[in-house]
Amino acid sequence: MSVPTSTRAAVLIEHGKPLHLTELPLPAEVAPGAALVRVSCATLCGTDVEIWSGKMSFPGMLPMVLGHEMVGEVVAVGPDTRDALGREIAVGARIGWSESTCGECHGCVVLREPVACSKRGYGFLQRSDVPPYATAGLSEYAYVVPRAAKLLLPDAVPSTWAAMAGCAAKTVLRAFSYVGGLTGKRVVVQGSGALGIFATAVAHISGAAKVITVGAPESRLSLAGEFGADAVVDIALGSDGIVERVRELTGGHGADLVLDFAGAPTVGAEAVAMAAQRGQVVIVGTTGPVSAPLPLGTVMGKELTISGSLNGDIADYHRAIEFFGAFADRFPWDRLFGTPVGLSAASDRIAAMHRLDEVKAVIDPRLP
């Protein structure tokens, strides 16, 4: 098979408007450490929807190709292209990939935190009108840059799950890695999107005494029930109602651990109000600049620990793949995903996620 020199891609040119199906160039040569991949599965993330709608926006970010959870088959490799574990990547291999990091900045070298890389290449950070053009999921072919975190994927993990591991699942596992053991704890998960439902399952598997998922609409809350929620609380109750219901469900104590995977303006204040004495609060889903003020007197009086968790790195990604392999039969993971559609229907699926009609859309760019 000859190596393609261009690719069909769905490009976001203007926020809130349908994606533009167009042809993008591909780099003429595959550099050492890089790969050219035919994308077989891209799953959409809440961030893709926020970028599409314009809720998340900054000058100079467009045009871009959405999709940062993806899997594909390698069609060309540069010299010495290996995955993050040092395994050789050959033509025909099925790989997933995630952010690229520079290895030279303060975040990479001093903090040793890939998520803090000042030149992180990830989803919204890569324009489609400058080389290497097509690096994201909503593209028939994608160029995987030399410093992108790549993983050869085990056969036991389906492509939808492996794609989701690239952002949603790794983000959840990183957040849990900061809070220690869950055995016997009362856990509240704020949010019933893909992250919230996956977090509900992780908390359940990790031995939480009780997992309470707060969200909406009803269809997602009932899905949370299938993924290990012992109780669900509808946000239609309003802040006071939500907090009161969580107190009831925890015998008046509140939650030992509250994780935000929702990002609504009121989640911080609600988390503090529903946390138990000496409880922990982890903020994971809040991306916007505007939020309700935190009642700091409560933070002090309850001696709460509040921390943030940003996305995830290659270690979290690897653990997410291992997690799906280990717990493949534990929950009906396929229920999180929509029916695969081609690039021409991607706009429609993003709009469906925006309306909360779909938890996680699946795009297979090989489809018409």
CA distance 185 to 215: 20
* Least separation in angstroms between CB 47 and Zn ion: 4
Instruction: Work out whether 309 is an interface residue with Zn ion (CB under 5 A).
Output: no
If binding is defined by CB under 5 A, does position 167 make contact with Zn ion?
yes
Which is closer to Zn ion, CB of 84 or CB of 102? Answer: 102
Q: With respect to Zn ion, which residue has the nearer C-beta, 190 or 250?
A: 190
**Candidates 110-118, 124-132, 242-250, 332-340; binding stretch for Zn ion (CB under 5 A):** 110-118
Gap between the Cα atoms of 264 and 258, Å rounded = 14
Q: How far apart are CA 310 and CA 105, in angstroms?
A: 18
Nearest distance from residue 243's CB to Zn ion, in Å?
Answer: 28
| Interface with Zn ion, residue 105, by CB under 5 A | yes
- Answer yes or no: are the C-beta atoms of 252 and 244 closer than 8 Å: no
Residue 45 interacts with Zn ion (CB under 5 A)?
yes
Residue 108 interacts with Zn ion (CB under 5 A): yes or no: yes
For the chain, counts of helices (H) and of strands (E): 11, 15
Give the nearest distance from C-beta 345 to Zn ion in angstroms.
Answer: 20
Burial of 352 (0-12, 13-18, 19+ CB in 10 A): middle
- Give percent helix, percent strand, percent coil of the chain, each to the nearest 5: 30, 25, 45
For Zn ion, which residue of 65, 117, 214, 343 counts as binding (CB under 5 A)?
117
- Interface with Zn ion by CB under 5 A: which range of 5-13, 94-102, 186-194, 333-341? 94-102
Judged by CB under 5 A, which stretch of 10-18, 38-46, 252-260, 330-338 contacts Zn ion?
A: 38-46
**Minimum distance from residue 116 beta carbon to Zn ion (Å):** 8
The least distance separating Zn ion from the CB of residue 288, rounded to whole angstroms, comes to: 15
- The count of other CB atoms within 10 Å of the CB of residue 320 is 30
- Judged by CB under 5 A, which stretch of 13-21, 106-114, 343-351, 358-366 contacts Zn ion? 106-114
Region of residue 272 (phi > 0: left; psi between -120 and 50: alpha; otherwise: beta): alpha
102 vs 341, which CB is nearer to Zn ion? 102
CB 70 within 8 A of CB 95: no
Burial class (CB in 10 A: 0-12, 13-18, 19+), 143: buried
Q: How far apart are CA 23 and CA 235, in angstroms?
A: 43
Smallest gap from Cβ 303 to Zn ion, in A, equals 33
Identify the DSSP state of 305. E
**Shortest reach from residue 128's CB to Zn ion, in Å:** 18
Residues 200-229, one symbol each (x = binds Zn ion by CB under 5 A, - = not), give ------------------------------
How many Å apart are CA 9 and CA 239, to the nearest integer? 42
Give 26 or 317: the residue with its C-beta nearer to Zn ion: 317
Is 43 among the residues that bind Zn ion (CB under 5 A)? no
Interacting residues of 85 by C-beta distance below 8 A, sequence separation 6+: 151, 152, 318
Please tell me whether residue 259 binds Zn ion under the rule CB under 5 A. Answer: no
Q: Which of 43, 47, 81, 135 lies at the binding interface for Zn ion (CB under 5 A)? A: 47
Of 21, 102, 315, 341, the one binding Zn ion (CB under 5 A) is 102
Give least dist CB 272 to Zn ion, A.
26
Q: Please say whether the beta carbons of 84 and 100 come within 8 A.
A: no
Site membership for Zn ion, residue 116 (CB under 5 A): no
Give the separation between CA 143 and CA 333, rounded to whole angstroms. 29
| CA distances, 164 to each of 46, 68, 87, 268, 325 (Å) | 11, 9, 22, 26, 13
Residue 217 CB, nearest approach to Zn ion (Å): 21
What is the binding site for Zn ion (CB under 5 A)?
45, 47, 101-102, 105, 108, 117, 167
